[in-house]
């Protein structure tokens, strides 16, 4: 008798338990928390390294090893948080960009659109950061034509050296004046650093261990992700603030009554126009019914 193997037990797709998607805000906060842990570890390692270098060492002692996380890891982790914050507005940003420029936006242009959508006070605080000028000066001492031209990821994204020069010009002359151009230029800068700092990307020049570039770029990216996540959290809280709706509605009712000049009715008063009081005396000059 031929042996027939028994088929494994399968569960229908409709009966399988699947975890709900946590949403872009939770994912962004998760990567942001990991980036903060890497930042703390890098800071502690720098302090330990400085302390060890300050102490007297014996002749022939082995060189001091840096045991902290690599500098590029925090930047890449924070970039993942930024990518998750793009998810809720990506479709709208692409639609608005296509209506404005009649072309499909590239990834860094969607990120620039997200940065430009921040409230004006946040944008002003962001563009006044002196580390933007510091990053501009540091990148001026790097061979950016080689960094950008030989980077496979930047080629796929459509960023060439002319794109970088245009962004450099906007950051020099339009920073804080033309907020949309400034946001797009900042997105180009950060995308270039991200592509050059990723060891998995095929390239000839990189910023994997370049602290002079990664430190100001990482600080700028940290401020951007913080502003965006705070705005997302505020929008989330205002939408789901069920406990505050009664208080907000009560305050709106009081303000509306005061604006109209009427006395504020009690909270349990029936809705609609108040019923006429039969015992009330008619006002002088009023028609008698």
Instruction: Confirm whether 149 is domain-assigned.
Output: yes
Q: Is 225 helix (H, G, I), strand (E, B) or coil?
A: helix
Instruction: Confirm whether 11 is domain-assigned.
Output: no
Q: How far apart are the first and last CA of the chain?
A: 105
> Residue 192 contacts by C-beta under 8 Å, 6 or more apart in sequence?
144, 147, 148, 154, 159, 164
Share of the chain above pLDDT 70, in %: 83
Q: What is the pTM of this model?
A: 0.74
- How do residues 113-148 score in pLDDT, each as one tens digit? 999 999 999 999 999 999 999 999 999 899 999 999
In which band, very low, low, confident or very high, does the pLDDT at 62 lie, cut at 50, 70 and 90? low
Instruction: Confirm whether 188 is domain-assigned.
Output: yes
Q: What pLDDT sits at residue 30?
A: 93
Q: Is 222 helix (H, G, I), strand (E, B) or coil?
A: helix
Q: Residue 137 corresponds to which tokens in the numbers above?
A: 């000066």
Instruction: Confirm whether 251 is domain-assigned.
Output: no
Least-confidence region, from 17-26, 121-130, 184-193: 17-26
Instruction: Confirm whether 109 is domain-assigned.
Output: yes
Q: In terms of residue numbers, what domain contains 116?
A: 24-43+69-237
- Indicate if the pLDDT at residue 4 is higher than 80: no
Q: What pLDDT sits at residue 222?
A: 94
Instruction: Confirm whether 30 is domain-assigned.
Output: yes
State how many domains the chain has: 1
Least-confidence region, from 19-23, 240-244, 263-267: 240-244
- Please answer whether residues 205 and 147 qualify as being in contact, where contact means their C-beta atoms are separated by less than 8 angstroms: yes
In which band, very low, low, confident or very high, does the pLDDT at 193 lie, cut at 50, 70 and 90? very high
Instruction: Confirm whether 48 is domain-assigned.
Output: no
* Size of the chain in residues: 289
Q: Is 56 helix (H, G, I), strand (E, B) or coil?
A: coil
Instruction: Confirm whether 156 is domain-assigned.
Output: yes
For the segment 64-81, the average pLDDT, to the nearest whole number, is: 85
Helix (H), strand (E), coil (C) string for 94-140: HHHHHHHHCCCCCHHHHHHHHHHCCCHHHHHHHHCCHHHHHHHHHHH
Least-confidence region, from 32-41, 57-66, 217-226: 57-66
Helices (H), the chain: 24-54, 71-86, 90-101, 107-116, 120-127, 130-140, 144-149, 152-157, 161-173, 179-197, 211-240, 242-260
């Amino acid at each position: 008798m031929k042996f027939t193997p028994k088929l494994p037990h399968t569960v229908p797709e409709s009966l399988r338990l699947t975890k709900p998607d946590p949403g872009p805000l939770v994912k962004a906060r998760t990567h942001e928390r990991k980036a903060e842990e890497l930042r703390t570890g890098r800071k502690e390692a720098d302090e330990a390294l400085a302390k060890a270098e300050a102490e007297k060492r014996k002749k022939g002692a082995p060189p001091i090893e840096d045991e902290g996380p690599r500098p590029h890891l925090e930047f890449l982790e924070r970039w993942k948080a930024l990518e998750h914050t793009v998810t809720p507005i990506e479709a709208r940003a692409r639609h608005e960009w296509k209506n404005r420029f009649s072309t499909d936006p590239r990834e860094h242009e969607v990120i620039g659109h997200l940065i430009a959508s921040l409230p004006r006070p946040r944008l002003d605080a962001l563009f006044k950061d002196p580390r933007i000028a510091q990053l501009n000066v540091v990148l001026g001492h790097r061979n950016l034509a080689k960094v950008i031209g030989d980077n496979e990821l930047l080629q796929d994204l459509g960023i060439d050296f002319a794109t970088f020069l245009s962004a450099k010009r906007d950051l020099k002359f339009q920073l804080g004046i033309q907020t949309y151009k400034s946001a797009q230029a900042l997105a180009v800068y950060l995308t270039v650093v991200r592509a050059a700092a990723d060891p998995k990307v095929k390239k000839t020049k990189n910023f994997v261990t370049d602290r002079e570039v990664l430190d100001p770029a990482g600080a700028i990216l940290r401020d951007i992700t913080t502003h965006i996540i705070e705005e997302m959290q505020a929008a989330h809280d205002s939408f789901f603030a069920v406990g505050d709706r009664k208080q907000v509605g009560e305050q709106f009712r009081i303000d509306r009554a005061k604006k109209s000049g009427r006395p504020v009715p009690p909270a349990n008063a029936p809705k609609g126009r108040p019923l006429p009081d039969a015992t009330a005396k008619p006002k002088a000059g009023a028609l008698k019914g």
